[in-house]
Amino acid sequence: MIHNGRMLGVIGGSGFYSFFGADARAISLDTPYGSPSAPITVGTIGDHEVAFLPRHGANHEFSPHTVPYRANMWALRALGVRRIFGPCAVGSLDPQLGPGAMVVPDQLVDRTSGRSDTYFDSGGIHVDFADPYCPSLRAAVTGLPSVVDGGTMVVIQGPRFSTRAESQWFAGQGFRLVNMTGYPETVLARELEMCYAAIALVTDLDAGIESGQGVRAVDVFAEFQRNLVPFKQLVHEAIESTAQVNECTHCLPHEGVTLPIELP
């Protein structure tokens, strides 16, 4: 299969299970790491060919800690994807970022455990991850109206939500967003030399940020659905703002390195 590396990828989060009309084609792939969350649909947005994959499956079969992250990222690269937008639902740790806010994080803190987060179990491969998100893709989103630029997203193991003490602790560290799927997706993209930027939709203020009953899943999904149309539109606009040719060098950590496996 010959690729020009120009295909963009979109990985939809909770409530974000489809992206194209009926004219899109579905592609089922297997990988050395099993099957991805769902068949990948490929369509066109503006001048870009785009591959869409629902992170949690077409019917939300996968919880955050069971998403087949390695298979998902491998399958997208095998299709020819080299740049990925990762829309996701997040809780806010900042009272100034209320439900409906759309944020492009610039930093990540991993608080997950036990997730398979590398393709390199041998060979002594260490990727640069100081700045986890692609600056070029981030710029394509942050240049759009009503988008909040920056903030640290802490990724928790889930599937439970945080205790009040945990969310107060996170907020006290200066983190702005809390999420359950942003890791290891981001680092796997870096290992596969794919540009990646998260686009976060705030669905709630986290448990320790305001008094009340805390975060409930039913409320999170309802808030996501209320904002799904403008959120999808933002992703469309980000794609249309992305350059046709990828000139990013930030997300190429393996230059001069001999890898123990061949990337797809």
pLDDT in tens, 222-235: 776 777 788 889 99
How far apart CA 74 and CA 31 sit, in angstroms, is: 7
| Residue 255, in any domain of the structure | no
204 appears as a binding residue in the annotation? yes
- pLDDT at residue 59, as a whole number: 87
% of residues, the chain, pLDDT over 90: 72
Statement: residue 5 has pLDDT above 70: no
Q: Which one is catalytic: 94, 106, 110, 206?
A: 206
205 appears as a binding residue in the annotation? yes
Once rounded to an integer, what is the mean pLDDT over residues 54-82?
A: 95
pLDDT in tens, 12-27: 876 676 787 777 899 9
| Residue 167, in any domain of the structure | yes
pLDDT in tens, 30-44: 999 999 999 999 999
- pLDDT at residue 63, as a whole number: 95
- pLDDT at residue 2, as a whole number: 40
Indicate which CATH number applies to the domain containing 186.
3.40.50.1580
Domain count along the chain:
1
Q: Which residue has the tokens 């299970």?
A: 17
pTM here? 0.92
- Measured N-to-C along each axis, helices 182-191 and 69-79 cross at an angle, to the nearest 10 degrees, of 40
Q: Which residue has the tokens 């060098």?
A: 249
Instruction: Report the chain's mean pLDDT, rounded to a whole number.
Output: 90
pLDDT in tens, 201-213: 998 888 667 655 6
Q: How confident is the model at residue 1 (pLDDT cuts 50, 70, 90)?
A: very low
Q: Which one is catalytic: 94, 106, 110, 204?
A: 204
Q: Which residue has the tokens 């785009």?
A: 50
| Residue 50, in any domain of the structure | yes
The SS3 call for residue 132 is coil
Phi, psi of 81 (to 5 degrees): -70, 135
- Measured N-to-C along each axis, helices 228-241 and 217-226 cross at an angle, to the nearest 10 degrees, of 60
Active site residue 219: no
How far apart CA 98 and CA 200 sit, in angstroms, is: 12
Domain that holds residue 97: 8-241
Does the CA dihedral 107-63-235-99 come out positive or negative? negative
Active site residue 128: no
% of residues, the chain, pLDDT over 70: 91
- Which amino acid would we find at residue 197? A
Nearest to 17 by CA among 200, 224, 204, 219: 224
14 appears as a binding residue in the annotation? yes
Nearest to 83 by CA among 11, 7, 188, 27: 7
27 forms beta bridges with 40
| Residue 219, in any domain of the structure | yes
| Residue 252, in any domain of the structure | no
How far apart CA 85 and CA 184 sit, in angstroms, is: 14
| Residue 2, in any domain of the structure | no
DSSP state, residue 45: E
Structure tokens at 191: 């290992």
180 appears as a binding residue in the annotation? yes
Phi, psi of 188 (to 5 degrees): -65, -35
How far apart CA 55 and CA 122 sit, in angstroms, is: 27
Query: Taking the C-alpha atoms of 103, 105, 110 and 114 in order, what is their torsion angle to the nearest 10 degrees?
Result: 60
How far apart CA 56 and CA 67 sit, in angstroms, is: 6
pLDDT in tens, 80-133: 999 999 999 999 999 899 889 999 999 999 999 999 999 999 888 999 999 999
181 appears as a binding residue in the annotation? yes
How far apart CA 85 and CA 198 sit, in angstroms, is: 6
9 forms beta bridges with 51, 84
The SS3 call for residue 90 is strand
